[in-house]
Amino acid sequence: MDQLSVSRTPSPPDLSLVLKALRKAKGRATVGDVVADTGIGRDQVEAGLRSLLESRKGHLEVGETGTLVYRFDPRLIQRDAIPLFARLKEGAWQGFTKAFKAWIVIMLLVYFVIFVALVIAALVASQSKGGGRSSGRWSGRGRGFPNFRGFWFWYFFWSPGWGRGRPYYGHRWERRYGSRKGTPKVPFIKKVFAFVFGPDRPKPTQAQKDRSVIRLIRARRGVLTATELVQHSGIPLQEAEEELARLMVTHGGDVKVTEDGVLGYVFPELMVSAKGTVTEREPDPAWRRLEPPEEVTGNDAKANAIVAGINTFNLAAASSAPWFIFPRLGIAGDLAWIGLVWVPVIYSALFFAVPALRAIAVSRHNRLRRERNLRKVILGEVFRASLIRGKARWITLSGTRGHLRRALPTAGVKGRNARVPLEWAEERGVILSESTVPDSLVEAQLQILLAEFDGEVEEDTTSGVRYRFSSIPIQLQGGETIRKGLSLEKQKVGDIVYASDQTDQEAHERDLDAFDRELASGSDLTHLLPDTERVGYLDDFELVLSP
């Protein structure tokens, strides 16, 4: 079977010329188009285009003759570029967060201590004077004044071993990693901050995000197709193509194209190991990498109750101070009203208002997470139906719902076939259950996948609308063809698929023989499909904490 390889090229030329040519071509061009427009040598143009695949949103296309077409976003925008308005919004929020955190440190604990002392003093004054006004000013040294030497006061701000700037990812992280021997206890002030602004968000580096894909490449013998990356990550097919184009440049990859037009990304350098033959365990597929819900506070119920209780006490004490504290302690004046009423009331109201407003955004984010999770679980059924003896089978809405019942927990039921116990799901904050997914949402996801993979749809008299994804086994079989031809795991040439001295007839017969061998030996692709009815969740912090 004929294959096309993109060889390594010299260092790229001034990319401004290549970018100018791409803008004229509206982001879509071949190497020849750019050479004709710039007059630069072919090898340099190819190196420039490959370099742009790493920094700009784009991917490769393959023409019928095997010609590679580089297609970028017409605006040639940078990968992960953030719009100006979003950057300004983020900067404003960060500024407000830092300022309010400083205010929290001063206000929450200091006012709590002050109001506790004032309330105790007012109660003492009421008892000693029969509920009347105190004849003198309160000195603040009466009975019941809080003991600042207690450990609880210092633990509020700090705990031994907790470094400055260390992130707190919430109670799920604390339960999983905080119980390890030698792990410092989380300072309570971190939980106070989390109550208002939510837990710290993990920010994995690109290398950390790429680790599981590199493991997948090594597990699949150095060759990966975009369809296989969708199976692993659940991202849309176009994004998978862009990611592989970037990884190809980053990790010294090439591309191979089969006669069926299957584009395989080849990474020979990732298959070289000092330990000999590379044997990598395949990472989890998309349906075992579901997203847990984003949490409003990230704290457990106990921590939230303590924080809310302190602020509620401050709010109640400040609101009632003019009628309870002031008369009993002889406090009066504008400064008293500002310092002991208006400032703490406004602060306490904001303390509750910020998480209440954030809850709206968190709810929207979780709705998007539920949709992405549903897509991943449905992908399991789509791939299962597509990989039976290498032939795509029809799937229906009712069949997909049956798959969801088997794979997902049902509200009030402790998991079907004990695959996902409800206690396990609740502990990890599962945001997707079969009983909460309407048919319309399942059908919408099937339609999206149908468009991505150029599938088929037809109306059946018995089962209603049914769907088939014939391109999936073709793509996976193409990947297997390239793997067997290259045998990168053994660093061997593999079967001869082309010889320069053969005639056209001999080449055609060789291709037919090779294709027949592939069908005979590789038509059953179920070895590429882990159990589709066992789902799992992946917390964001696992990407930055895993070794």
Instruction: Give tens-digit pLDDT for 307-321.
Output: 999 999 999 999 999
Band of the pLDDT at 157, cuts 50, 70, 90? low
* pLDDT value, residue 233: 94
Band of the pLDDT at 513, cuts 50, 70, 90? low
Band of the pLDDT at 359, cuts 50, 70, 90? very high
Band of the pLDDT at 84, cuts 50, 70, 90? low
Per-residue pLDDT at 266 exceeds 50: yes
Of 276 and 122, which is predicted with more confidence? 122
Cβ neighbors of 328 (< 8 A, separation 6 or more) are: 121, 122, 125, 126, 129, 131, 132, 133, 134
Report the amino acid identity of residue 44: Q
Per-residue pLDDT at 175 exceeds 70: yes
Contact 493, 485 (CB under 8 A): no
Cβ neighbors of 119 (< 8 A, separation 6 or more) are: 317, 324, 325
The strand order across the sheet containing 254-257 reads 223-224, 263-266, 254-257
Question: What gap in Å lies between CA 196 and CA 353, rounded to an integer?
Answer: 9
Per-residue pLDDT at 231 exceeds 60: yes
* pLDDT value, residue 364: 92
CA-wise closest residue to 235 among 80, 377, 375: 375
Cβ neighbors of 539 (< 8 A, separation 6 or more) are: 169, 172, 173, 292, 428
Report the amino acid identity of residue 225: T
* Rg value, the chain, Cα: 31
CA-wise closest residue to 268 among 256, 260, 283, 258: 256
* pLDDT value, residue 137: 46
Per-residue pLDDT at 171 exceeds 80: yes
Lowest mean pLDDT among 30-39, 252-261, 422-431: 422-431
Paired sense of beta strands 254-257 and 263-266, if any: antiparallel
Contact 53, 88 (CB under 8 A): no
Question: What gap in Å lies between CA 238 and CA 186, rounded to an integer?
Answer: 42
Band of the pLDDT at 345, cuts 50, 70, 90? very high
* pLDDT value, residue 421: 43
SS3 content of the chain, % helix, strand, coil (to 5): 55, 5, 35
Strand partners, 255: 265
* pLDDT value, residue 390: 56
Band of the pLDDT at 1, cuts 50, 70, 90? very low
Torsion over CA: 514, 519, 520, 525 (sign): positive
* pLDDT value, residue 305: 94
Q: Which helix (H) or strand (E) holds 464?
A: strand 464-468
Side-chain-facing half-sphere of 264: CA atoms under 13 Å? 30
Of 248 and 274, which is predicted with more confidence? 248
Task: Pinpoint the alpha helices (H) of 330-342.
Answer: 334-337
Per-residue pLDDT at 381 exceeds 70: yes
CA-wise closest residue to 231 among 283, 185, 306, 164: 283
130 conformational bin, left if phi > 0, alpha if psi -120 to 50, beta if neither: left
List pLDDT tens digits, range 454-465.
999 998 778 789
List pLDDT tens digits, range 46-58.
888 888 887 788 8
Looking at every residue in the chain, the average pLDDT score rounds to: 79
Per-residue pLDDT at 492 exceeds 50: no
Band of the pLDDT at 36, cuts 50, 70, 90? confident
**Within the chain, what is the greatest distance between any pair of CA atoms?**
115
Domains of the chain: 1-81 (1.10.10.10), 84-203+293-364 (no CATH)
List pLDDT tens digits, range 87-134.
677 777 777 777 777 778 777 778 888 888 888 888 888 776 654 444
Reported pTM: 0.76
Question: What gap in Å lies between CA 113 and CA 150, rounded to an integer?
Answer: 13
Per-residue pLDDT at 496 exceeds 60: no
Side-chain-facing half-sphere of 503: CA atoms under 13 Å? 3
Mean pLDDT, to the nearest integer, of 295-313? 92
Task: Pinpoint the alpha helices (H) of 5-144.
Answer: 15-24, 31-38, 42-55, 84-128
Q: Is residue 132 helix, strand or coil?
A: coil
294 conformational bin, left if phi > 0, alpha if psi -120 to 50, beta if neither: beta
List pLDDT tens digits, range 407-434.
876 544 444 443 444 444 444 444 456 6
* pLDDT value, residue 312: 93
Question: What gap in Å lies between CA 62 and CA 143, rounded to an integer?
Answer: 83
Per-residue pLDDT at 276 exceeds 90: no
* pLDDT value, residue 9: 45
Query: Taking each helix axis from N to C terminus, what angle separates 226-233 and 237-250, rounded to the nearest 10 degrees?
Result: 110
Per-residue pLDDT at 143 exceeds 70: no
* pLDDT value, residue 412: 42
Lowest mean pLDDT among 260-269, 508-517, 518-527: 508-517
CA-wise closest residue to 248 among 263, 265, 235: 265
Kindly state the tokens that stand for 364: 């929207």
Q: Is residue 403 helix, strand or coil?
A: helix
